[in-house]
Chains A and B, each alone.
Chain A
Amino acid sequence: MLYQLEGSQAIAKAVALCRPKVICAYPITPQTHILEGVGELVRNRELSDCEFINVESEMAALSVAIGAQATGVRSYTATSSQGLLYMIEAVYNASGLELPIVMTLGNRAIGSPINIWNDHSDAMSVRDAGWIMLFAETNQEALDLHIQAFKIAEKVKCPVMVCVDGFILTHAYDRVDIPPQGEVDEFLPSYVPHVSLDVDNPIAIGAMVSPEYFMEVRYLAHRRQTDSLEIIQCVGEMFQQKFGRDSGGLVRRYCVDGAETIIVTLGSVAGTIKDAVDELNLDGQSFGVISIVSYRPFPAEIIMNSLKNARKVIVVEKALAPGVGGILSQEIELALKNTKVEIVSVIAGLGGRSITKLMLKECFLMKDHARTTFLGLKEDIIAREYTPMKCCGCEGST
């Protein structure tokens, strides 16, 4: 059924449809409305047999989820930005313990300087933590990906983080189609844990693992992740069959076939990019767009096959590795290492800086791209604040 809802409320409804048994809540902007939303659904019994727990920190939020999932029930939490960093030890722990927790990440910048607005710095800080990470482009996708996330997590025995652009999606009212409970129940049956605490069959979870076995444990985690590419794709297809929407899978391709230049990106900015590309193509240009749904595991092969015939690839990303440049860009470069495709990196929208269609069009049409371009950088501020440094030893010699 169609609703006009705030993204956060749509996600809350999707989570409730998945019938988690334990939900842990700790507030941090811009994720807070999601947990308020599910909390209300628990209190008004729309989501029954569910424990909604107000905890004292993000560390506790994910830890409670770890305890609950280890006891054999579906559990859920959400966070953003600093909150994700505060719980990072538990983030690694959850994947190491193979607990299929689902967590929403309302993407937000990381300080200092403190900034509450959207970018992908938080997601990038845990890209190697062993979670499956799915990025939503729209609120419909955010909703749909949550339903798929529980299925994928439980199938792969790996936690899933659904990344949703803070404010841009979490606070936006959009039209969303919310599936009926019965259909979600058919798609996502009750959780049957592969392993859990059980008084009748006591086991230990979380043993210390010595050098004799640690490599193997990590290798198996890696294999599970790479194998999950197929499962993510398959769950996306199952979802489409059941609900009629293509809102999962590994990557989303738009006007890619035959395109000279292909834009690669993550998350909601893909929408604005598609509008920009449509206008450019109407003017006789040749642009396509790939938005990556599954950032972890990274679908390198599909990306390579989709990009290898392009002349140029422009990676638009909302994160920065200081001293390196783009983060997604590096991974795209690696995927295309055996091709002659020119790859440029556009760092955009850091700390919530607006990314407009006009800025993107101008950037895409530039003839000579720097390897790394900062979209909309205020050159006057840089000129005023930047002083080249000199090592004391070379002072005067240059």
Chain B
Amino acid sequence: MFQIRVHGRGGQGVVTAAEMLSIAAFLEKKHAQAFPSFGSERMGAPVMAFCRISNKEIRLREPVLEPNALIIQDRTVIESSNAFQGVVENGFVLVNSSVEISNPVKNVNIKCIDATGIALEHVGRPIPNAVLLGSFAALTKIIKIDSVIEAIKTKFSGSIAEKNIKAAQIAYEETLKGI
């Protein structure tokens, strides 16, 4: 089972990111479960969402405590949310940041990408979730970029979908180059 935890702030599409991940995995005939951190959080407050991907039925309903991958949509929540907690050895950490961040845990594959910048340029809105999923596909290879694209189409429509798909593809290519 591969477990993902997404950190960010209310309004950044954190929950949608986890949901799209689960849809992408579902499209690859895997079992997937996505759920939010169940709060009454308002815009701007730190939020979390979780996703599990497995070849078997997923029965576990606890929060993701030992993520194989972290997606951090806003680096300003890292400290307050203790975002790196529990991440497994050789796990993946994907951070939305235009600057490199110091790596607080050993033995993880960390990757920074300016997802907000890419989103602003290609979508026109500072919502980094789809961009990060493109990068996530390249970094972890757990899901294919084509599945991410299909998942984006279930959450966005029309030109917003197209723009998000383009932005995700750009992030995917950029991340592949960096590995």
- Give the interface of A toward B (CB within 8 A): 2, 4, 6, 29-30, 116-118, 138, 167-168, 171-175, 268-272, 274-275, 352, 354-357
Contact = CB atoms under 8 A, between A and B. Distances in A.
Contacts of A168: 35, 38, 61
A151 B169 CA distance: 48
B64 to A, nearest CB: 11
Nearest to A269: B61
A356 B62 contact: yes
Interface of B: 18-19, 22-23, 26-27, 31-36, 38, 40, 58-63, 65
Given A272-B62, A357-B60, 8 more contacts: A4-B27, A30-B38, A172-B61, A271-B60, A272-B60, A354-B63, A355-B61, A357-B62
A171 B18 CA distance: 12
A100 to B, nearest CB: 31
A274 B56 CA distance: 14
Contact of A171 (B27, B31, B35, B60): B35
A116 B38 CA distance: 9
5 contacts: A167-B35, A168-B38, A172-B35, A173-B22, A175-B32
Most chain B Cβ neighbours within 10 Å, of A4, A6, A274: A4
Contact of A272 (B18, B40, B61): B61
B57 to A, nearest CB: 8
The prevalent SS among residues of B at the interface is mixed
B51 to A, nearest CB: 8
B62 A173 contact: no
A258 to B, nearest CB: 22
Given A29-B40, A352-B38, A172 B33 contact: yes
Contact of A116 (B27, B31, B40): B40
A271 B19 contact: no
B26 A167 contact: no
B62 A174 contact: no
Contact of B31 (A175, A275, A357): A175
B165 to A, nearest CB: 18
B36 A171 contact: yes
Contacts of A174: 32-33, 58
Contact of B19 (A118, A173, A275, A355): A173
A268 B61 contact: yes
B87 to A, nearest CB: 17
A269 B34 CA distance: 16
Contacts of B60: 271-272, 275, 357
Contacts of A6: 19
B65 A356 contact: yes
Nearest to B65: A356
A355 B35 contact: no
B38 A173 contact: no
B14 to A, nearest CB: 13
Nearest to A140: B57
A61 to B, nearest CB: 22
User: What are the 8 tightest A-B residue pairs by CB atom distance, in nearest-first order?
Assistant: A271-B59, A4-B26, A173-B34, A172-B35, A167-B38, A356-B62, A173-B22, A4-B23
B35 A173 contact: yes
Contacts of B40: 29, 116
Contacts of A357: 60, 62
A228 B36 CA distance: 37
A173 B33 contact: yes
Nearest to B18: A173
A116 to B, nearest CB: 6
Nearest to B63: A354
